[in-house]
């Protein structure tokens, strides 16, 4: 199922549909935009036909200098079976040959009053947002002191209860149970809640609660960049857990690797405070303060001094 169709950008940017109405359901598969300057000059060897074609002052003025036969041929070549649509910027007059070709090949021709570069920037940002790789993860996403913490673990381990305590401590809930994640850049993951369960939190024995209604608008946010993952698991006496914090585990979501902490769960442990401190400690590490590394260096100095004596 296509994520974006031509009709979507017509509505989003209030574009004027000039011709080729039969093609408004064509899918847009790439966020790249083409300005077909070389193509207007007759070089179609590497024509990126699968992109939105954006014609500005330069392209339209050049086409007007072509003789009618050449102009008709090249504008027809722009209207391929793969081309989602052609957009004319600055409210420029559209060549009649392009209108005829677009109707013949059902390629939508649209017009905007925005300047070419400005419109290109807006359209690219919109398409990158809509076409970004996405996935869904079972977990809870909370904004803790500006750090997006994704809490994962098996069902019933206490993720939602920890999130509720974090909200009570002044932090903000983004999503509970299902977190929709999109990769906006090579190293940027942004999570949000599905519309159906936005602002809702499920607590076993209590049921579903509306966090925004109970704690106010300041207790929730619509989306947040995911910075680290905290994985909760039941305490295993046979497993050796990291006690210094020197070993940094990573987890890969889509194509992005982010730090992961594994926290064992057992009665009496205050998970909310542990997760809160983990987020603060992550911020300190980003500022260059690594308590575990400093302790290791001091320990090495003590051992070295002892050997010298």
> Is 157 annotated as contributing to ligand binding?
yes
What phi, psi does 166 have (nearest 5°)?
A: -65, -40
Q: Is 224 annotated as a binding residue?
A: no
Phi, psi torsion values for 142, nearest 5 degrees: -130, 140
- Of 88, 133, 78, which is closest to residue 109 (Cα–Cα)? 88
Q: Which residues form the catalytic set?
A: 138, 159, 177, 243
| Integer Rg of the chain from CA | 28
Residue with tokens 């699968």: 50
Those residues whose C-beta lies under 8 Å from the C-beta of residue 100, and which sit 6 or more positions away, are none
250 is in an annotated binding site: no
Alpha helices in the chain (DSSP H): 6-13, 37-40, 57-65, 68-78, 96-105, 116-131, 159-168, 211-215, 271-286, 291-308
On whether 85 is known to bind a ligand per the annotation, the reply is no
Q: Is 159 annotated as a binding residue?
A: yes
Question: Is 155 annotated in some ligand binding site?
Answer: yes
Residue at token pair 């990158």: 128
160 carries a ligand binding annotation? yes
Q: How far is CA 36 from CA 30, 60, 84, 86, in A?
A: 16, 10, 14, 10
Tell me: is residue 148 an annotated ligand-binding position. Answer: no
63 labeled part of a ligand binding site: no
Q: How far is Cα 264 from Cα 235, in angstroms, rounded to an integer?
A: 5
Note the residue count of the chain. 309
Instruction: Give the span between the Cα atoms of 52 and 219, in whole angstroms.
Output: 41
Binding positions for Mg(2+) are 160, 202
Binding positions are 153-160, 202
Binding positions for ATP are 153-160
């Amino acid at each position: 199922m296509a994520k974006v169709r031509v009709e979507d950008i017509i509505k989003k940017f209030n574009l004027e549909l000039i011709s080729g109405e039969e093609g408004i359901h064509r899918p847009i598969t790439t966020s790249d935009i083409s300005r077909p300057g070389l193509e207007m000059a007759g070089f179609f060897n590497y024509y990126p036909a699968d992109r939105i074609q954006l014609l500005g002052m330069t392209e339209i003025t050049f086409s007007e200098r072509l003789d009618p036969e050449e102009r008709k041929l090249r504008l027809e070549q722009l209207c391929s079976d793969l081309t989602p649509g052609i957009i004319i910027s600055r409210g420029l007059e559209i060549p009649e040959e392009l209108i005829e070709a677009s109707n013949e090949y059902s390629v939508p021709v649209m017009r905007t009053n925005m300047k070419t570069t400005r419109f290109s920037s807006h359209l690219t940002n919109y398409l990158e947002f809509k076409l970004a790789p996405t996935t869904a993860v079972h977990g809870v996403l909370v904004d803790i002191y500006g750090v997006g913490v994704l809490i994962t673990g098996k069902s019933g381990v206490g993720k939602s209860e920890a999130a509720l305590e974090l909200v009570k401590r002044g932090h903000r809930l983004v999503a509970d149970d299902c977190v929709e994640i999109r990769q906006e850049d090579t190293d940027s993951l942004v999570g949000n809640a599905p519309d159906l369960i936005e602002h809702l939190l499920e607590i076993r024995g209590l049921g579903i609660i509306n966090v925004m209604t109970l704690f106010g608008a300041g207790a929730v946010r619509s989306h947040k960049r995911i910075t680290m993952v905290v994985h909760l698991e039941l305490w295993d006496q046979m497993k050796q857990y990291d006690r210094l914090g020197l070993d940094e585990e990573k987890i890969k979501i889509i194509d992005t690797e982010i730090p992961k902490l594994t926290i064992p769960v057992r009665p009496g442990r205050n998970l909310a405070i542990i997760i809160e401190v983990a987020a603060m400690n992550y911020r300190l590490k980003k500022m260059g303060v690594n308590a575990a590394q400093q302790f290791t260096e001091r320990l090495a100095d003590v051992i070295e001094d002892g050997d010298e004596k």
